[in-house]
Amino acid sequence: MDQANILIIGGGVIGCAIARAVSQRWQDVFLVERFPKLGMATSTRNSGVNHAGLYYPKNSLKAKLCVEGNRMTYEFCAKHNVSFRHTGKLVVATNAHEEVELAALKKRAEDNGVDGLRLIGPAEIRAIEPHVRGTAALHVPSTGIVSAEELVHAYARLATSQGASIVTHAQVVSLEPAGGMIRVGLRIGDEEDSQDETIEARCVINSAGLYADEVAGLLGNHSWKIYPVRGEYCEIRGPRSTLINNLVYPLPHTDGLSLGVHFTKTLWGSVLVGPTASYVEGKDNYEKNRLPIAEFAHSAKTLLPEIEESDLQLGYSGLRPKLVPPSGSGIADFVITRDPAVPHAIHLVGMESPGLTAAPAIAEHVSKMVAEILG
């Protein structure tokens, strides 16, 4: 039976960033991913925005790790040849009531340590985004975009170069405490042709994204339930993509479900419109009952009156691992905690946005927890 110091469950951006961080310090690090390739779940089905840290309650993990992660992500991308653009973004108000909310958002963001924020008027909005209509906007210089796919693979490549073993097509199917170790049951390969293997690990890190609640359940911990909330995109391609230069957001939804349908100029020159937010049944339900394009056009017209339904094509979708049930409201914080009954297991649950941005800061945070376990 193989033995590991650290076994990481899940090869999304967070698992890969953790593998890179912990393999700098410890040997015998394994990362296992159930899909044949890394980053195929939420980590490459998002907006690819390197968020500034505007929206999250003061002193929350989301606020702290996003602000730190934003800086770390830019540094990492520049150093390791990951494509990115440091664009800045506008959060746009369209009436007096929203202008009050905008001022409150600025205050919250400053409390979180976000620098360089400025309230601007219609003339400056037009100078930055000539086609966007608004009465005022918050200019956020630290926001930008990154290639999520390249980021996942760069973290994984560095982890491997530091000696970590990354095994894809390997699903964790059981977890069993055994003395000071955790016995990890793996199903390797696909359904028709699989074999079972076991690894014993001194520390297990559960970064299984949408399935982190079920993986915690394998250890008998049923503290969490993840509700998938689908975010759908449309895309503007070709000449009409010049309607947007950088990133343009409305005020966030007050229900805490999403940041509202926004515009993201991608690294490949198109504009993403979305994501929407709706609870769905099923953790792989990306396509069933997709929203009609007309609904995107309708929402998008508030900030971008020139947009027409014919400018839009249906794009991809992603699933947010929400901890707040459909009947609830508000923002749940990231959960990053040692298991109370099996303290050499660390669970990361509810790792929704800004998880892509925060990944390197999350990895440092988890690395400190691992040091408490392994010494």
364 burial level (CB within 10 Å; 0-12, 13-18, 19+): middle
> What is the smallest separation between the CB atom of 203 and ligand FAD, expressed in angstroms?
16
Position 154 contacts ligand FAD (CB under 6 A): no
Packing angle between helix 13-23 and helix 355-374, nearest 10 degrees?
40
276 to 315: interface string for ligand FAD, x by CB under 6 A: ----------------------------------------
- As given in the structure block, the two tokens for residue 126 are 């037009």
Question: What single-letter amino acid sits at 14?
Answer: I
Position 47 contacts ligand FAD (CB under 6 A): yes
Sign of the dihedral defined by the CA atoms of residues 266, 269, 273, 277, in that order:
negative
By CB under 6 A, name the one of 20, 51, 62, 106 that touches ligand FAD: 51
Q: Which residues pair with 49 in a beta bridge?
A: 145
Question: Nearer Cβ to ligand FAD, position 209 or 252?
Answer: 209
184 to 223: interface string for ligand FAD, x by CB under 6 A: -----------------------xxxxx---x--------
Position 134 contacts ligand FAD (CB under 6 A): no
Give all strands (DSSP E) within 96-193, no chain letters: 118-120, 136-140, 144-146, 165-167, 170-178, 181-189
Read off the DSSP letter of residue 42: G
Question: Nearer Cβ to ligand FAD, position 150 or 352?
Answer: 352
Position 252 contacts ligand FAD (CB under 6 A): no
Question: What distance in Å separates the CA atoms of residue 156 and residue 319, rounded to the nearest whole number?
Answer: 22
Give all strands (DSSP E) within the chain, no chain letters: 2-9, 29-32, 49-50, 84-85, 89-93, 118-120, 136-140, 144-146, 165-167, 170-178, 181-189, 194-206, 227-236, 247-249, 262-265, 271-274, 278-279, 312-322, 335-338, 345-349
By CB under 6 A, name the one of 320, 344, 347, 365 that touches ligand FAD: 320
344 to 363: interface string for ligand FAD, x by CB under 6 A: -------xxxxxxx------
Position 9 contacts ligand FAD (CB under 6 A): yes
> What is the smallest separation between the CB atom of 236 and ligand FAD, expressed in angstroms?
17
Position 32 contacts ligand FAD (CB under 6 A): yes
What is the helix (H) or strand (E) element at residue 287, kind and residue range? none
> What is the smallest separation between the CB atom of 100 and ligand FAD, expressed in angstroms?
26
Sign of the dihedral defined by the CA atoms of residues 358, 361, 364, 368, in that order:
negative
Cβ-closest position to ligand FAD: 355
> What is the smallest separation between the CB atom of 232 and ligand FAD, expressed in angstroms?
8
Applying CB under 6 A, the residues found at the interface with ligand FAD are 9-15, 32-35, 40-43, 45-49, 51, 171-172, 207-211, 215, 231, 275, 318-320, 351-357
